[in-house]
Chain A
Amino acid sequence: MVDETIAGDAGVQEQGRHAVGDRSGRALLVIGVLAVALAATALFSLTWGASDASALGLVRSWLFGATPGDEALSMRDSVIVYDIRLPRIVLGMLVGAALAVSGAVMQGLFRNPLADPGLVGVSAGAGLGAVSVIVLGATVLAPFTALLGTYALPFAAFGGGLLTTIILYNVATRQGRTSIATMLLAGIALGAMAMALTGVLVYIADDRQLRDLTFWQLGSLAGATWLKIAGAGPIIILALATTPFMAKGLNALALGEATASHLGVPVQRLKYVAIVAVSAAIGASVAVSGGIGFVGIVVPHLLRLAIGPDNRYLLPASALLGACLLLLADAVSRTIVAPAELPIGIVTAAVGGPFFLWILLRKRGVVDL
């Protein structure tokens, strides 16, 4: 029988500063390492490219003023580093963070590690919104593009993603229970519908639009400009900034919607905020870089293996690792077939596809259809 004397002084096992089963220390360490790795990757990306432009020389002259030894630093180098590589790096980090964090939030929301915006049709919906603006922006949607200017594309993508997520959630969730089978199947259906409509738009597009569309659909950071960053950056940053406030709620949600509510989480409000934030982040990302797949599923999954599923650490770590991996993928994509370049979506799919299969083989229990 349990009585107070037993219960009172029972085993507090300390291992160093952290109790057994408490992975917060390791999580903070991993976040620190990832932050350093991201900084290093960004610096590496700045110096790595088809051109031999010397970013280090630029950084040196920027820090210490131009020195006599730096005559080699030409106008060309400056343009390549500041106007081509730097915006591309900034955009890559924003998009990588947005994709990975959106994946993690969506997986928390649907209580399933396979819920990824790319897999369940949200990216396709966002793509439809974006393609509508590219193809119809000058004609049918002219008032919309005139009103929003630079923001027309990200907002249309946001709208498409939001609509898809809301439909998906309502179809897949009955009385607080999300059926993973229904979710994946509904995602396939919604994705197919969005692709069909996108196909119609592609069909009526003119030659110039068609070329834009093809590259954009494969996913690429090649078109990165400071203007695009000004359009998508604030949306992504705003959406990411809301996620730390969801972390505790998403943790409780892992126990089910009813239990989360019993733990004091305002579940409905959490769901609304999460859906809008994911749609905004995905919409803005898709608008600037097209469909870059698998980041949202691979990054949170790897991190859960390393630091556990606690969203207070998982979300910031996902942002850092997502940014880091996308920069590396982009470095590969712009040098592997230099001077041409491979769309980054091909790189992430080539790596992410086999990884996804590995998840399925390793943990068959994950998909309980």
Chain B
Amino acid sequence: MIEARQVSVSIGSTRIVSDVDFTVRPGELAAIVGPNGSGKTTFLRALTGELAFSGKISLNGRDTAKLKPWEAASIRAVLPQSTALSFPFTVREIVKLGVTGGRSGALAGEGDRLPERALARVDLEGFAGRFYQELSGGEQQRVQLARVLCQVWAPVLDGQPRYLFLDEPVSSLDIKHQLIIMDIARDFARRGGGVVAILHDLNLTAMYADQICVMYRGKLAAAGAPQAVLTDSLIEKVFGCRLRVGAVPQANIPFVLPQSAVA
């Protein structure tokens, strides 16, 4: 379980996140949504130990402030928004960093094939020999996800659930790959792990999240199941625009929702 109690983060003299309470149970996919600058990424950085914070955060009951880097790496993996490289690594070499970094939890003998399997999962089969720097932004993001998956390949290891922290995992992806990546995240949760993802697409969020946390001006504006959270009044308050949930556009304007995907 991920538990955050009264978490606040200040950078310099500016308070970015104030008194956020947050709980993610194993098996859950929690989405953090909110307007730009509402503190989503800052809060995620506190959760992953990148930023100093006040309050208390624990992973599986262990205080994250006291976890050594290699201990934390065996419990959770983190996908940053984007990663630029200055050295010519191949895709396989990048993904392999995930295997050597944490404890994949893959069966003995599977470890060597893990990069290829992870790449196939993110629909990058055959990309192992390509240079990372030569890929498009969306492809790079999926390579990083493959690396992150390798780090915590088994969602449950030694009876302990493990976690994925994803900062805008689908922000630069086309619709097909948005669905593939969100399926991977949901699958990770269904198999006993936990997922925290920052998302911007409210439709994807409603479709995949078990729990939505809405951040607004550094505070938690609402949290709960999609049906309870995504209301006209909350969206107007938080995003500052009047949108109606569930309204269908006029007949002559096409609209495509992820929910319409045929499995």
Contacts and interface: CB of A to CB of B under 8 A. Distances in A.
Given A1-B179, A366-B86, A263 B50 contact: no
A23 B49 contact: no
A60 interface: no
A261 B69 contact: yes
B101 A252 contact: yes
Contacts of A266: 68-70
Contacts of B180: 1-2
A310 B100 CA distance: 13
Contacts of B120: 6-7, 10-11
Contact of A304 (B70, B88, B98, B123): B88
A10 B83 contact: no
A261 B64 CA distance: 13
A22 B93 contact: yes
Interface string B114-152: 011101110101101110000000000000000000010
A309 B113 CA distance: 21
Contacts of B49: 261
A269 to B, nearest CB: 9
Interface in A260-277: 261-267
Contacts, number: 129
Contact of B151 (A2, A22, A261, A263): A263
A10 B125 contact: yes
B116 A264 contact: no
Nearest to A113: B86
B172 interface: no
B92 A22 contact: yes
A259 interface: yes
Nearest to A255: B83
Given A19-B113, A258-B80, 12 more contacts: A1-B263, A2-B180, A2-B187, A7-B121, A10-B120, A12-B117, A21-B93, A258-B78, A259-B83, A261-B50, A261-B69, A264-B72
- Interface pairs A-B: 6 shortest CB-CB: A10-B120, A21-B92, A264-B73, A263-B101, A309-B87, A21-B128
